[in-house]
Structure 1
């Protein structure tokens, strides 16, 4: 039998400066994704690297989105989304969906899309598509954290090893498979 103990209280410290936080997070590599939704509130999409696996039972991911985003209400009202994981050759789509100047309709015109189980747009050619229903939303600071139970996972039928796209140190990087 082992004894458990509580951690010692941490002394109050000055908050971390926003610039220090952003500089630190720039050194945390992240997969590049385009998050999409469709439903009664309309179609919308944005580029994100704040996506994370939560559990495999039930299969669940989390997606973080700034509440001040013009598209936030679409995701909150539709209640569904698709995480489209981009490959190394899809950097242009990341830039397109991150550009606030490009109207939503034009973003979706430039690539072929299909609807999966939830009806959210799934990008043809994505490394993987994670389609799900938002089952909970938590507000943390400026962002909503969407907890998403997956309804469908689709990967392309390809024998070639995929090359991923990561964002690190404020730049895109191709991630390949070593031979």
Structure 2
């Protein structure tokens, strides 16, 4: 049998993008840092987001049925830590500049890219909820030059991935 600690240790070697996932609704704005985000299909455009059911903001995402996935760049390491901390939602959103697209979920203005989504299906698996999210709007990168570096998490530390195009 595989122990949880052994599984977590092995998963620490799976490089993942760092995202801030947000929602907005009757109970206010909420967000968390997530690495468990991936594409499901492009027809219709769908993302999968995993969220711990014990999270303070879990019920807000479930009730609102909307979210935005904000893909972080190298300059957002502190923002990632803020949204992973025990700060209140108001304190978290005091960091960064926010706007919105179709659903009203907060979108980070300088994210590498943001996906605005409606949550269509929720599946509970162990300690987490798996959210199947239909993408209804995309905020593309501000600088299409390819010079941005992506913030990734590997072996329990932040790293930067990307390359500057040479002319």
Give the TM-score normalised by the residue count of structure 1.
0.89
Inter-partner Cα distance in structure 2 for 1:159 and 1:43? 29
Unpaired runs of 5+ residues, structure 1, are 1-13
CA contact (8 A) 1:40 1:77 kept: no
State the distance in 1 between where 2:6 and 2:81 align.
25
* Matched residue, 2:52: 66
Deviations 1:25-70 (A, max 9, x none): 0000000000000012321000000001000000000000000111
Which of residues 11, 26, 34 in structure 2 aligns to 1:40? 26
Please report the RMSD computed on the Cα atoms of aligned residues, expressed in angstroms: 1.0
Residues 78 and 98 (structure 1), Cα distance of their counterparts in 2 relative to 1, 3 Å cut: same
1:100-130 deviation line (CA, Å, top 9, x unaligned): 1x11101101211001100000001000000
Query: What SS does the corresponding residue of 1:99 show, helix, strand or coil?
Result: coil
Distance change in 2, residues 1:110/1:178 (3 Å): closer
Structure 2 counterpart of 1:83, from 57, 69, 94: 69
The reply on whether 1:49 has 2:35 as its aligned counterpart is yes
Contact kept? 2:110, 2:142, Cα under 8 Å: no
1:131 corresponds in structure 2 to 116
Q: Tell me the SS of whatever aligns to 2:70.
A: strand
User: CA separation in 2, counterparts of 1:106 and 1:31?
Assistant: 24
* Displacement over 4 Å in runs of 4+: none
> Do 1:34 and 1:45's aligned partners in 2 also have CA atoms closer than 8 Å?
yes
Q: 2:71 touches 2:114 (CA, 8 Å); kept in 1?
A: yes
- C-alpha deviation, 1:178, in angstroms: 5.1
Gaps of 5+ in 2: none
Contact residue 38 and residue 48 of structure 2 kept, 8 A: yes
Q: Secondary structure of 1:167's match?
A: strand
- SS of residue paired to 2:120: strand
Equivalent pair of 2:15/2:153 in contact (CA under 8 Å): yes
Q: How many correspondences in the alignment?
A: 164
Matched with 1:103 is 88
